[in-house]
């Protein structure tokens, strides 16, 4: 009897385990879409010109805004540059730009690595400074400078990337900026928290940030800018 009962209990336990296994199989999450077609979709988006078109559309909206917002005050001494001081608010007008996939395009590197990320390859890319300009955003940068608006770069690139980044900005003829703010090498903040803190500090120092342009929601979240302009980025996500 004892042996039969032991077998019966063992059998019951096996039945429970089997039932749970079947139930587990039944509730396995659905297989996500395959990555390869998604990569092809992104390449088609870039190759078709749609990506460039969307970037240009956002940059045009931003340019229209800053040209209206930073228009010289009638009678301001010294023209647009001097007129930028104190226009509509009593502080120095400024514009914040992100860098990667905003003013600088890393598409050659992204494409070559098939959207992968290799730290050593990325460091070498940044140090060499070969990223081409996103042309409509460079036009926006130049429009801001013509209007006497300070340009401030706030980037998630680390402080050790500064030399290569400055080299790249000179190479695309965008070296006439007020300040380049890089993330400290030892910072544990998210990109969004870091950039928000820097905008808050700039405003506290008396700047009026009339526009903030970036490719990530984290570039723009939290305020401290009169207007925000989100560029498309289907390649990666930064929090």
C-alpha to C-alpha distance for 37 and 239, rounded to whole angstroms: 25
* Domains and their CATH numbers in the chain: 35-230 (3.40.50.1000)
Whether residue 126 contacts residue 157, with contact meaning beta carbons closer than 8 Å, is answered with yes
C-alpha to C-alpha distance for 58 and 213, rounded to whole angstroms: 9
pLDDT value of position 221: 96
pLDDT value of position 90: 57
What residues of the chain score a pLDDT lower than 70? 1-27, 73-90
pLDDT value of position 72: 76
C-alpha to C-alpha distance for 43 and 195, rounded to whole angstroms: 29
What's the predicted TM-score (pTM) here?
0.82
pLDDT value of position 20: 43
Mean pLDDT of the chain, nearest integer:
86
Q: H or E segment at 3?
A: helix 2-26
pLDDT value of position 39: 94
pLDDT value of position 125: 97
pLDDT 10s digits, 152-185? 999 999 999 999 999 999 999 999 999 999 999 9
Two structure tokens written together for 216: 């990530």
pLDDT value of position 94: 98
């Amino acid at each position: 009897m004892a042996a039969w009962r032991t077998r019966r209990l063992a059998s019951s336990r096996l039945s429970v385990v089997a039932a749970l296994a079947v139930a587990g199989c039944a509730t396995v999450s659905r297989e996500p879409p395959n990555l390869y077609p998604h990569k092809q979709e992104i390449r088609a988006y870039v190759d078709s010109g749609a990506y460039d078109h969307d970037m240009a559309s956002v940059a045009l909206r931003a340019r229209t805004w800053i040209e209206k917002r930073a228009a010289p005050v009638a009678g301001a001494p010294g023209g647009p540059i001097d007129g930028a001081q104190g226009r509509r608010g009593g502080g120095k007008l400024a514009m914040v730009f992100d860098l990667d996939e905003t003013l600088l395009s890393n598409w050659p590197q992204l494409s070559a690595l098939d959207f992968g990320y290799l730290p050593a390859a990325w460091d070498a890319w940044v140090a060499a400074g070969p990223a081409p300009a996103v042309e409509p955003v460079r036009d926006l940068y130049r429009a801001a400078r013509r209007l006497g608006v300070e340009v401030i770069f706030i980037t998630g690139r680390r402080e050790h990337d500064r030399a290569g980044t400055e080299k790249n900005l000179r190479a695309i003829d965008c070296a006439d900026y007020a300040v380049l703010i890089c993330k400290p090498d030892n910072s544990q903040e998210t990109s969004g928290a870091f950039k928000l803190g820097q905008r808050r500090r700039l405003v506290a120092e008396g700047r009026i940030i009339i526009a903030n342009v970036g490719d990530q929601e984290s570039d723009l979240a939290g305020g401290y800018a009169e207007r925000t302009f989100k560029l498309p980025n289907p390649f990666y996500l930064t929090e």
